[in-house]
């Protein structure tokens, strides 16, 4: 459904679907690292086709929250996740095949991780996992995803060179293209602009705005203004607590319920 035709029509259906059932439902989510709490009792919903921003200072539990969503706790034996996360109504722990769950959720890490493969193979990685073998089909996916990630023009002549030879900003767009090749319903971004120059950051933000028509984005960011630019709704995390959630504009215009939120947004602490 995310063919070139769908990609062309970027306006019209944009915007969150608050009337439909949420794509992500989080209830009483707590995360501990060796018994030390990193996130305590978070409840929130993410709706389809919204960009859901999460802001908060370091150690506020933002990344732990993201990692819990696609069961990445499996990588870290010390990480303990409690509570429930439902994606499309199904509890993520009911997936007996966690790989199939992860294959439907795209993740972009803070520092770009170019797999030690060529540009082409990086993007073709997950289509190949899904069993796509035909060269034409892969070519099409690679071109479409690189184009969507605003990288195609820069790399179309060097698809066979190593992904790790690209610049930092290009690599981050490569990881976005790679995540898009999963054809995910949900895209998780964890402080993607940390290692990216401002110009590239703006380009990626444009990309994300367009992608909202096709999928749902959870955007963890350390840049308060980035949340303001992108997010439909924003959640503020502080020291493992979800302090408040609101329409992004409301939060930034001072319609907050909690003093701490204003303090963070206005930069009184960071």
Partner 1 sequence: MDRRDLAWHVDRVARILVFVGGISAIIFIVGIFVFVTKEGLDFVFGSLDLGEFFTSIAWRPTSNNPTYGALALMVGTASVTGFAMLFSVPLSLGAALYIGEFATGKTREVLKVLVEMLAAIPSVVWGFVGMSIMNPLIIRVFDVPLGLGVLNAGLILGLMAAPIMTTIAEDALKAVPDTYREAAEALGATRWEVILKVVIPASKNGLLAAVLLGVGRGFGETMAVLMASGHAINLPTSPFDSVRALTATIAAELGETVNGSDHWGALFTLGIFLFLVTFIINLTADLVVRGIRKK
The residues that touch partner 1, with contacts defined as CB under 8 A, are 70, 72, 74-75, 77, 99-100, 102-105, 107, 109, 111, 113, 115-117, 125-126, 129, 175, 178-179, 182
User: Strand 186-190 and strand 105-108: pairing?
Assistant: parallel
Q: Which is nearer to partner 1, 14 or 129 (CB)?
A: 129
The least CB distance from residue 130 to partner 1, in Å, is 8
Nearest distance from C-beta of residue 230 to partner 1, angstroms? 21
SS (H, E, C) 96-131: CCHHHHHHCEEEECCCCCCCCCEHHHHHHHHHHHCC
Q: Taking Cα atoms as reference points, which of 149, 147, 169, 158 lies closest to residue 121?
A: 158
Smallest gap, in angstroms, from Cβ of residue 145 to partner 1?
A: 12
Q: Taking the CB of residue 147, how many other CB atoms lie within 10 A of it? A: 17
Q: How far is the CB of 35 from partner 1 (least distance, A)?
A: 17
What residues are paired with 216 via a beta bridge?
186
Nearer to partner 1, 32 or 95 (CB): 95
Select from 232, 231, 225, 229 the least CA-distant residue to 266. 225
Q: Which is nearer to partner 1, 3 or 77 (CB)?
A: 77
Q: Which is nearer to partner 1, 62 or 102 (CB)?
A: 102
Closest CA to 231 of 244, 249, 243, 214: 249
Cβ proximity to partner 1, 29 vs 105, nearer residue: 105
Cβ closest to partner 1, residue 102 vs residue 148: 102
Query: Any idea of the CA torsion for 56, 57, 58, 61, to the nearest 10 degrees?
Result: -30
Tokens of 225: 């203004």
Helices (H), 28-151: 62-69, 98-103, 119-129, 135-148
CB of 251 to partner 1, least distance (A): 29
The DSSP call for residue 85 is E
Q: Cβ 71 to partner 1, closest distance in Å?
A: 10
Q: Residue 195 or 202: which CB sits closer to partner 1?
A: 195
CB of 137 to partner 1, least distance (A): 18
Give the pairing type, strands 51-55 and 216-220.
parallel
Q: How far is CA 87 from CA 51, 82, 136, 201, in A?
A: 16, 16, 32, 28
Closer residue to partner 1 in complex, CB, 116/254: 116
Least separation in angstroms between residue 270's CB and partner 1 is 26
């Amino acid at each position: 459904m995310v063919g070139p035709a769908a990609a062309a029509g970027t306006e019209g259906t944009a915007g969150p679907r608050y009337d439909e059932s949420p794509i992500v439902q989080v209830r009483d989510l707590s995360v501990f690292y060796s018994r030390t709490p990193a996130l305590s009792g978070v409840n929130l919903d993410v709706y389809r086709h919204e960009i859901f921003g999460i802001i908060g200072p370091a150690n506020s539990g933002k990344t732990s929250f993201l990692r819990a969503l696609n069961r990445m706790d499996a990588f870290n034996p010390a990480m303990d996740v409690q509570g429930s996360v439902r994606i499309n109504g199904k509890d993520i722990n009911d997936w007996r095949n966690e790989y199939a769950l992860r294959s439907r959720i795209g993740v972009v890490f803070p520092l770009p991780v170019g797999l030690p493969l060529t540009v082409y193979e990086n993007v073709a990685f997950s289509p190949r996992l899904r069993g796509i073998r035909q060269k034409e089909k892969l070519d099409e996916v690679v071109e479409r995803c690189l184009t969507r990630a605003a990288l195609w023009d820069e790399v179309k002549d060097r698809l066979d060179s190593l992904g790790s030879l690209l610049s930092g900003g290009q690599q981050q767009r490569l990881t976005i293209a790679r995540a898009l090749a999963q054809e995910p319903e949900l895209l998780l971004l964890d402080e993607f602009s940390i290692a990216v120059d401002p110009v590239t950051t703006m380009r990626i933000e444009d990309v994300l705005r367009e992608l909202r028509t096709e999928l749902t984005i959870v955007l963890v960011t350390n840049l308060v203004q980035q949340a303001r630019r992108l997010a439909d709704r924003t959640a503020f995390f502080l020291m493992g607590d979800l302090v408040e959630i609101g329409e992004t504009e409301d939060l930034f215009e001072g319609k907050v319920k909690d003093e701490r939120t204003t303090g963070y947004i206005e930069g009184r602490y960071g």
